[in-house]
Amino acid sequence: MIRSSVSNCPVPTDQQPLNEYEELKTSWLFCDCILDGRDYITKIIWIWSLSWLVAGPVAAASFHPQKQLVHFILCGAAGASVGVVLVLVRLFLGWLYVRDRLYNPTVFYEESGWYDGQTWTKPQEVITRDRLIVTYEIKPILQRLQFTFAGLAGMFLIGTIVWHLS
């Protein structure tokens, strides 16, 4: 999606912030962030459920399910949440990187390798376009991920209280 205003852009196509954004929002896993609320939560629950394949046996080794059911469930749930946290951190960092590349008035790029980096200053119309994308498309994604982190933190807090009460 290269426009005429960036046709004289020296940045290689795959390193242009707009193209990085388009690629990220269509890539596997990252596209889950732009799903509607119900589908997004469903994906998070699937990741959490699959994480139980590792967390469940570890929790069972620590707390026998027949003798300490509450501790087994809480420990397994917390362990499975680690998988969710790792995925969320990856998503957050990926979107944050693209946000920063779009928001900055200059673009650092590599012509042929790590040793020959250059900087390109965006024209004002490109800066405006990129900042609109950041404001209306990327910020809501980052806010959703932050809200998900807060929800997980709240669940950890509730789990800790239940742990101490049982």
For residue 14, which amino acid is it?
A: D
Residues 142-160: pLDDT tens digits? 999 999 999 999 999 999 9
How do residues 111-136 score in pLDDT, each as one tens digit?
A: 877 677 899 999 999 999 999 999 99
> pTM above the 0.75 mark?
yes
Q: Is the pLDDT of residue 6 over 70?
A: no
